[in-house]
A and B are shown apart, each in its own frame.
Chain A
Amino acid sequence: MSFTSTDHKRIGLLIVGTSLVLMSLVGVLALLMRSQLALPDETFLDAHVYNQLFTIHGSGMIYMVMTPFALGLGVYLVPLQIGAPGIAMPRTTLMGYWLYVCGAVTMLSGFAANDGAHPDGWFSYPPLADRVNSPSVGSDLWIVGVFLAVTGSILIGWTVLWTVLRKRAPGMTMMRMPVFSWSMVATCLMVVGSFPALLAALVMLAVGRVDPAVFASNVWNIGYQHIFWFYGHPVVYVMFFPYLAAVGEVLAVFSGRRFFAYKGTVLALLTFAALSMSVWGHHMFATGQAANDYYSLTSILLLMPAGIEYFALIGTILGGRLVFRTPMLFALAFIPQFLIGGLTGVMVGTPVIDYHVHDSYFVVAHLHYVLFAGSAFGLFAAVYYWFPKATGALLRENLGKLHFWLLVAGTNLTFLPMFALGYLGMPRRVYTYDAIDGFGWLNLLSSCGAGVLALAMVVFIVNVLESLRSRRPAGDDPWGGQTLEWATSSPPPEMNFPPERPLPPITSYAPLLDLEKQKRTGAGRTPAAGEGSQA
């Protein structure tokens, strides 16, 4: 594979592949943490090591796995879905990828530093993260690494957004774009609108590491939090929309019908993205320095666009003819599992509740239901769904189903007990707990769940390697896809739609479904023509 190709499919696969490798690496850090927490007063890890692990696990998963994977999916799919021959500004996209790789390597190299990697958590509040309190070189490497990776994400976000706006095929109006491409519009708007705030926050930290006196003043400490969370909330939806939309496409295809409530969903995504820029203070209720009423108002209003998205997902399957292939299983599990994250999100957006559960394991449970039980299930739905397109080979169905069921069991066993732990008073970011605290058996359950998750991931890796080693040809369209990427070969040729594979007529956001219907009805009044006329 060429590492300097400007073919968007190559770059997309590089981004997606790199983030999957990093997912395994920083996932192992979580396994170490769960081993340490399985029993009270364990001494497997000390506080110093544990602090590095949760910092790099969180930073790695957010900055270097879920965000880049979402953008990488966009780099690969958006040009195909809108009938373009390539991405806008491919060299910029490629530079974004390499900045991301350099950033990941820089951050992880902290483990080789004398005092180890950065130990202050993925949001690294000053003054804890200044030079006096965190003297390790690992902290400097973390700042540089995250800065590089996020700069890369911003560049990639711009090129995807520009592709959507400028490279659509003739006939591909905005309201004929597939839901996934629309989700990338909302996502990239948030990337370019909010990610620069993280760069600003990192610069503040860097200045504070040169001169810690900066953080002697409260205005810089609380200011850092405001600027950080101005990035920190939209990024949650950057790590959500593309996966939600992938789930939407999978549900539609395996329901054998077009995506339900398309217009409402597009509007909901855009409203969601706009509102996301106004809710950051709900991470700061306990600081005593944020306007509770305002941030609670904007946060709770999010349930309206979120409700519309759920309306579309449920509506799609309620009128479908459901086929339970592996991508469909992941997409279906996404619905209730993400919902747990969303409903508890309303709770933590309520100041009265947040005062208790903030910085406790309740929040850890909430964010993992959003990012893992939700987004990661969307991620796997996307992988199983588009893997045949990108490689020309099908993934094994039996291994996929095993992966799925293990992942469902592991996810809920790991993260459900954490709600109770937080409610009962276990703070996050503690390397151990006392036997008398009574957190023991819930932690043990959670750690067992983590073991099941590890097993599930092994099955997934085996599935990918096995499917690539002894290939079962996928054909151009193994699922009955509805969007343009399924109209070209698997893998698609360099220019996506060369003269020998011309674009089909673009009649709606499901052009291949229209074509199929036209073929059936256009071939005269055969008995089959009455099919599908039921509402």
Chain B
Amino acid sequence: MTMVGEESGSLSGMPSIDTGTLLSVISLLIIAYVVTRVISFLLTAFSEKVGKYRIKIKMLLPILKFSIYGYTVYYIMAKLLEVSAQELILFGGLLGAAIGFGLKDLFADLIGGIIIVFEKPYQIGDKIRVGDQYGEVNDIGIRATTITTPDDNYVSIPNYVIFTQSVSSANIGNSEMMVVTDIFLEHGSDMKIARKLLKEAVVTSRFVYMSEKHPITILTKDFPFYIRLRAKAYTRDLRYEFNFESDVSSRAWKELKKKGIKPPGANLIDSSSMPDQRDR
């Protein structure tokens, strides 16, 4: 089947690839793609069934994907095209030129993808922040990482970004993640009651996760026109990040109001002077 490097049938001594080989190469690439998709689908479906181990299982996806594509490329080069050392050097030179001229970004993405797979700055299922983008990682592909933002936007981030920007992962491969919930109260509020109620709102939330290593912290800080009550606690699944925050906040306020504790006057809260919500 293989005709690469054979002088007979080639023009001016250049190697040629016959139709059969070409079809085999295309078929192999299609098979690799289908196998990758099927494995991704099955692993994702299985991971959704196992609760807290979801992210651990999804971690296998990029490794499998890179392994399948890597092996396919190796098989095509070594077995079908029977590329010799000389041809490999020639190919390397051409590839170098191609990278130099226009494919350098693609190549950087590919290397970035490999680094993401092995160094694991983030994994599939993590909540990450890259530049201005924040969301849950859906897929780590050969070229790009895709995330879903809280507004349900599907954002594709080129893999090379990890070389140029800092990436923060809120849960580094765990299902649980810390959620910070702030409540702003007027000065003179009974802080003992307020702290108690906020703590109880956190511990009785159906989204909370508590353990020895995942404690709950309630912090108070005075600002010129209001008091900030901050609850730091973990949600049992990062997908409940916003549900947890909302649940704690709404239930806490319901009880705080019953005790006569009020938010600061609306005119006193200037959004531009508010501390960054992520400031911990």
Query: Are A and B genuine complex partners?
Result: no
